[in-house]
Structures are given as C-alpha cells and as structure tokens.
Structure 1
Amino acid sequence: MILNRAPSPIDKLAIAVVHQPERAQIPPSGAREDALRFLLQTAADAKITKVATRPDGDGERWLGQAWPFPSPFQVTVRTVPIAEGVDRIEARARRSLERLGLPRGDALLISSAADLAGAEGRALWDRLASLKDRGLFKRIGFCATVEDGPALLARRFQPDIVQIPVNMLDQRAQRTGVLNELASLGVDIHASSVFADGLLFVSGEALPPEMARHSHALSRIRRRLAEARVDPMQATLAYALGLPEVSAVVASVASAAELRATIAAAHAPAPGLDWEALQLEPATIAPGSATRISSAA
C-alpha cells in the first residue's frame, strides 16, 4: 500500500481556479489577467505545484496567459464527455495543452467514470494510454464517485490517478475502505470536493432546496466546531490533508485572497476532532444528497 505522508500540508495541496461568476466576478480583461497572475504567483510563492483544470469556457486560455515564468506547476487536464466521441476527446485534450500554453501535461483524467463503463470505455482508455506513450501526459486516470466502484475500475484499467470526492461531511470513501483499496493498488488518490460545495459556509436559509433537510445536522456540526474553536475551513482541510492514502487535495479558489485563506487554514495545527461525529449522515447519505455534496471540483 502507498501512503502519502507529506512533510508539509502544502506538499499535498492542489488548486482548481474557479472562473464562474457566482464565485468570482469577472473583471475587465486586463484586470482579470492581473488578478489571475497574482493568484498563480501567490500559489508559486507558497510552493504549491499542482493545478487542476477543466475544459470549460475560457479558463484554460486565461491560465495559459497568466502562468509565472518559468512555470512551477504540474497541470492536470480533464477530458470532454464520451458523447463527443473518442477522436474528439483526443483532439480536445491536445487543444487543452495548446490553450494552456504547455508542451505536455502532468495528468489527463477522464471526467466521469461512467465514460469508462460504457461500450467505448476500453477504446477511450487506450486512446489516453496512447497520449501518455507519446509523452503528452505523464500520467492518466479518471474521476469517480464512491457509487462508481472506483476500485473495480482501477483493477481493470490500472490508472495512475483516481480523483474522488472526499470531505468531512461525506466520509464514505474513507469509512467504506475505498481509499485504502485504491492505495493498495498503487494508485495516486486526488481528493476533490473538499469544501463540500460550501455547505458549512452558508446558513440554513441559504441552503439549496435539496439540502434543506440537512439544516439541523449542519447546524449541529457548526456548533461542534465552534465549541472546539475550529474554523470550518480549517476543519475541512485538516480532514482531507490528514488522510494518509491521499496524495493531493484539490481546493477550489477564485482569488488570491481565497488562496491565502486556504493556505493559512492548511498550515494551522491539526485540530483534535472526532471526525466520525462530523459526518453529515454516516454511511447512509441518500443518493441525491451525495450528488450535491460531491459536486464541487
């Protein structure tokens, strides 16, 4: 089994830059580029080396225009859906590197494990393996949820990386042994959705309708954290960063200010919390709720 006991929490921390209007107001072009350069330089100065991207909108192009030089980052790229066809997936992965201004990427991840489970799953995987063999990507893997059976898929396809939602509110990946099983296969595990779609940072009135039934449980968890004098961001990061099976914790950030807050929370002393008591619904999270909790990158 490969356990990832990083000497510093920053060694595990990865960032996904958020460009959506609801998280980051898009400033005029010049100001946006300056803000993005400042965010990336802040990450570089903090010795963060991993950046996760998606093939959505202009995010890749904006990043490609804002990297520090020389860039210290290892960049992970995601595929477009299998519905667009295997040829299109390869072409778009190559295009992602062009938009990012990179000759090669660190990793290429299939965006949904369901794409591997379908009729074209093997052809899709073989295409990614070909891109790896050509040196365009150092590693390949897939994104999955607990419901996708990621360990079974890992046995079949032998990925380098599996990205899976892991957070304090939804601990099923740990509690059901999925992380341990993936680690035993020698897979690098990237934890996503570590902030649980921001559920700990909004009041009951602001919860999305499908999560309203969890308002009392969330209030209880917030109260436990307040009694322990632990900030919710510190708690959520400490849980994910403290998992020895996890090699990278992907935190979404929309600005340099958010990144600085994330870095400060990651460096805070690990709180002595009863993590099991801080799950939203231990091992019995309903499918709809799990989808919501696991939706953030």
Structure 2
Amino acid sequence: MPDRSRLGLGTVQFGLDYGIANSEGQVGAEEVSAILDFAAKAGLKVLDTAAAYGSSELVLGEQLPAASSFRIVTKTIPVRRPNITGEDAQKVAETFQASLRRLRQPSIDTVLVHHADDLLVPGGEALYAQLMEWKQRGLIARVGVSVYDRPQIDRLLERYRFDVMQLPVSVYDQRLIANGTLAMLHDAGVEIHVRSVFLQGILLMQTHDLPAHFVAMAGHHECYLDRLQAANVSPLAAALGFVARLAEVGIVLVGVNSLRHLQECIAAFDQSAALDCAEFAIDDAQLIDPRCWPSRG
C-alpha cells in the first residue's frame, strides 16, 4: 500500500468556492471538522492553505488543536508589483503573523511564496530574506515557492535555495516530467508538492460535461476515458495513481469538497493504479494551465 503520509489535503475549498468543475461550493464548518478528523486518522500529514484562500486559515484554526500534528503549509500574500519595497515586505510579514493567529498555531511547517515572480523583480531578495528570518526564528521549518513552469524554476534557482516547491503535474500536464524538472529538483534535495492532480476536476469529468473552453480536447478526453474503462480503472484512481507512482514526488495534494470525496481519494490513492498515461500528455497551455482559463462567473 502507498504511504498515505504522501497524500496532502488542499484546503482552498474550505475558504472559497473554487475550481472550474466545482458545483458544490465552499465546504461547511461541520464537514471540514469531519474531513480533518478522518484525514488525521487515515494517516495524512500535510494541510495546504494560504492567506488568499478566503476564510480557509480561519476555518482550520477553529477546527485544529493547538500545535497540530499536521504539517501546515501556507503562502505569502501575492505582491504583484514591478519591484518589492520595504513596505511590501513589511506587509507580507504582518500578513504571515495574521496567518499564524488565524491558524492558532505558534509555528507551522512551511511557507511558500505564492506569486513566484515576486522573488524575481527588484527587491525580491528582501522577501526571501524575510522567509529565512522566520525559519531562523523557528516560526517555520521550511521555505518554499509555488511555481508553474521550467523557465520560472530555473530563474528562481539561479538566485535562491528552497526546501519545497509546489508545482502542477497531472495526466494531461506532464511537462515537468518530460523536461526533467522533477528529477532535477529531487536530486537537488527539494521536496516536491504536486497540485492540480485532477486539473481542477477536468480529469474526473465526462466529456459531455466539459466546460466550453475545453471543447478542443473533447476527442482526446473521450479516448482517455475509453482507455480507463477498458482497464477497469476509475478516473479518480488513474489521476491519483499517475502522480503517486512518481518517485520524485514528496506530497500529492488533493482538494476535497466533502468527507465522502476524501474517503474516495484515499481509497483511490491506496489503489495507486498502474496505467501508462504518457500518451495522454497535452502541450497546449490554453488547456492545461489554469492561468489561461476564463474566469468563472
């Protein structure tokens, strides 16, 4: 059986109505409590949140015990300015302290820079220095960054060292496997956290339910589903198994909207379906990069 401690719980849906395929909305407080209790008993160790995830941190803080045994990962607020000023760095620091208060934790495992380009503009080194100070003070154990693609990763590694990188990998988005990025980061000792395993639910949908933006890949998606049916593998098990079987990956993040959904994810993760999905990779960023998708609503 795969190591369940490698399965991490994404909590954006605890604080926001998130995901292009999400029709159920934000998760209620009672359901969050049930999800966290089951996750802990099932052996999950990582919770991924962010200051930008609406009330997610606050909800977690209300439900988790003080000094929780979960490895909590949160993220800096995105600055998104052409240069980082001392005032910007101070605001990031204040927001992190607010995150700790909302989470009701004296310290947490990891802080990721949410908007990686904040580290690449003039003054970005001050933001990195701020994170390193938190690490030295024992407020966090690891410093990391949330990234999208190899050029961005290369530019970051030219300037900084990271303990953790969170990045997208899925059956349809295999770019960071194909170009050797996962192997390179693993060899460098970086813990890899994979997000977008379900491509915000696209990989779990039937072809006729795909949003209009994805009509160009309808035939491709139908072929993929046919392959799964022939192999008697569910879309959930295939999506999770594909990433779980990558030896370089430290944590596989899944976002859930109910206790039942979490239970299904754990069962699928335990199955770790061995299916060769290399041929289903898609290179069109319009289809696999959520930054290119139309906004909901």
TM bracket (short chain): 0.7 to 0.9
Q: Which runs of 5+ in 2 are unaligned?
A: 82-87
Provide the residue aligned with 2:287 in structure 1: 289
Structure 1 residue corresponding to 2:139, chosen from 111, 136, 139: 136
Amino acid at match of 2:48: A
Shift of 1:148: 4.2
Secondary structure, counterpart of 1:190 in structure 2: strand
- 1:100–1:161 Cα change, 3 Å: same
User: How far apart are the structure 2 equivalents of 1:231 and 1:203?
Assistant: 12
- 1:100–1:148 Cα change, 3 Å: farther
- 1:26–1:108 Cα change, 3 Å: closer
Shift of 1:188: 0.7
Provide the residue aligned with 2:277 in structure 1: 275
Provide the residue aligned with 2:85 in structure 1: none
User: How far apart are the structure 1 equivalents of 2:292 and 2:265?
Assistant: 19
Contact 1:114 1:148 in 2 (8 A): no
Matched, 1:60 2:33: no
Provide the residue aligned with 1:183 in structure 2: 186
Contact 2:119 2:128 in 1 (8 A): yes
Q: Bigger CA drift: 259-268 or 14-23?
A: 14-23
**1:134-162 Cα deviation digits (max 9, x unpaired):** 11111011000115431442342110001
Matched, 1:79 2:71: no
User: How far apart are the structure 2 equivalents of 1:247 and 1:177?
Assistant: 16
User: How far apart are the structure 2 equivalents of 1:254 and 1:230?
Assistant: 22
Matched, 1:127 2:127: no
> What are the within-5 Å matches in structure 2 for residues 221-236 of structure 1?
221-236=224-239
User: How far apart are the structure 1 equivalents of 2:207 and 2:166?
Assistant: 30
Shift of 1:8: 3.0
Q: Bigger CA drift: 213-222 or 76-85?
A: 76-85
Amino acid at match of 1:16: G
Q: Bigger CA drift: 79-88 or 184-193?
A: 79-88
Q: How much identity, in percent, do the aligned residues show?
A: 28
**1:10-34 Cα deviation digits (max 9, x unpaired):** 121000121333454457xxxx332
Q: Bigger CA drift: 137-146 or 111-120?
A: 111-120
Contact 1:155 1:185 in 2 (8 A): no
Provide the residue aligned with 1:10 in structure 2: 4
With structure 2 as the length reference, what TM-score do the two structures score? Answer: 0.88
User: How far apart are the structure 2 equivalents of 1:163 and 1:70?
Assistant: 24
User: How far apart are the structure 2 equivalents of 1:79 and 1:70?
Assistant: 21
Matched, 1:50 2:46: yes
- 1:119–1:293 Cα change, 3 Å: closer
Contact 2:72 2:108 in 1 (8 A): yes
- 1:68–1:127 Cα change, 3 Å: closer
- 1:245–1:152 Cα change, 3 Å: farther
Shift of 1:201: 2.1
RMSD across aligned C-alpha pairs, in angstroms? 2.1
With structure 1 as the length reference, what TM-score do the two structures score? Answer: 0.88
Secondary structure, counterpart of 1:163 in structure 2: strand
Provide the residue aligned with 2:121 in structure 1: 118
Shift of 1:207: 2.0
- 1:26–1:192 Cα change, 3 Å: closer
Higher relative CO (Cα under 8 Å, sequence separation at least 6) belongs to 1
Structure 2 residue corresponding to 1:36, chosen from 32, 35, 48: 32
Secondary structure, counterpart of 2:273 in structure 1: coil
Q: Which runs of 5+ in 1 are unaligned?
A: 1-6
